[in-house]
Amino acid sequence: MCQDCGCGDTNLVPVEVQTRILARNDSVAAHNRAHFSERSIFSVNLMGSPGSGKTAVLEATARALGGKTLAAVAGDLATDNDARRLEKAGIHSKSITTGEACHLDAEMVHRALHDFDLTGVEYFFIENVGNLVCPAVYDLGQAVNVVALSVTEGEDKPVKYPTMFAKADLVLLTKVDLMIHLPNVRMSAIEDAVARVMPRPRIISISAQDRFGVSSWIEWLSDRRERMNALMLAAEHA
């Protein structure tokens, strides 16, 4: 032992760790998830490129779910514009201004949930920062991941950003009312690209403008919420 002989040399000691680097984020996400599920709140992490129509989809959702209590947090780098739009549409909302951060993490959502009145809320939307890369890395405590993909973004967008689509439970193909102006965009090519990155491909075409597809989206949300509640009930009685 070098500490005995005094030569000053050091020993190298390998230590096996095998831990997730984002373990801290995951534990806060689990806390958020418990916070939502204890209150039977169905939480949706809505991701997508800037301008893919995330806020417009939520506005259309609020119009369609008039009688339900909705809440949201909207992540944005510099403004609270999206949260203000959602509030105006009838969704109790808070803005998370991320500054330079290109994504939301579980801690940001957790902080936003403090002092957030969730009484009677059935659906909680987390409108992530517009970005198809970084948000996919962070679990926020959501029940489902939904990716908004607009028809103008290119048929091959999903295969260019496989991580986000691999983690998605649903792709909302937005702005489909524009398809009549896009003769070179083929729906079949978008579906094929999604099937190459998403093992259980599920696409709902939607137009917030003319409300096409909004009822299918609401049906999907309601079905997934019922499934979550049934699973929780079964777990309570187990």
| Residue whose entry in the numeric block shows the structure tokens 């209150």 | 39
Interatomic CA distance for residues 42 and 177, integer angstroms: 28
Q: Are 46 and 58 in contact (CB under 8 A)?
A: yes
Part in contact with another protein (CB under 8 A); list of ranges 8-16, 34-42, 59-67, 75-83: 8-16
Interatomic CA distance for residues 212 and 94, integer angstroms: 28
Cβ proximity to another protein: between 103 and 175 the closer is 103
Min dist. Cβ of residue 166 to another protein (A): 6
Min dist. Cβ of residue 225 to another protein (A): 23
As given in the structure block, the two tokens for residue 171 are: 């792709």
Taking CB under 8 A as the criterion, the residue among 35, 94, 103, 157 binding another protein is 103
Sheet holding 70-76, edge to edge: 92-97, 70-76, 123-127, 42-48, 144-150, 170-174, 203-205
Interatomic CA distance for residues 88 and 91, integer angstroms: 7
Site string for another protein, 195-224 (x = CB under 8 A): xxxxxxx-----------------------
Cβ proximity to another protein: between 11 and 184 the closer is 11
Q: What is the CA radius of gyration of the chain?
A: 21
Part in contact with another protein (CB under 8 A); list of ranges 14-22, 27-35, 45-53, 222-230: 14-22
Min dist. Cβ of residue 187 to another protein (A): 16
As given in the structure block, the two tokens for residue 102 are: 């290109």
Site string for another protein, 172-191 (x = CB under 8 A): --------------------
Min dist. Cβ of residue 119 to another protein (A): 33
Cβ proximity to another protein: between 18 and 184 the closer is 18
Site string for another protein, 116-145 (x = CB under 8 A): -----------------xx-xxx-------
- Quote the longest CA-to-CA distance of the chain: 82
Sequence-separated (6 or more) residues with CB below 8 Å from residue 100: 77
Using rule CB under 8 A, residue 5 touches another protein: no
Sequence-separated (6 or more) residues with CB below 8 Å from residue 1: 11
For the segment 15-34, give every residue that binds another protein (CB under 8 A).
Answer: 15-25
Number of residues forming the site for another protein (CB under 8 A) = 40
Q: Are 199 and 166 in contact (CB under 8 A)?
A: yes
Question: Can you give the binding site for another protein, defined by CB under 8 A?
Answer: 2-3, 10-25, 101-103, 105, 133-134, 136-138, 159, 162-164, 166, 192, 195-201
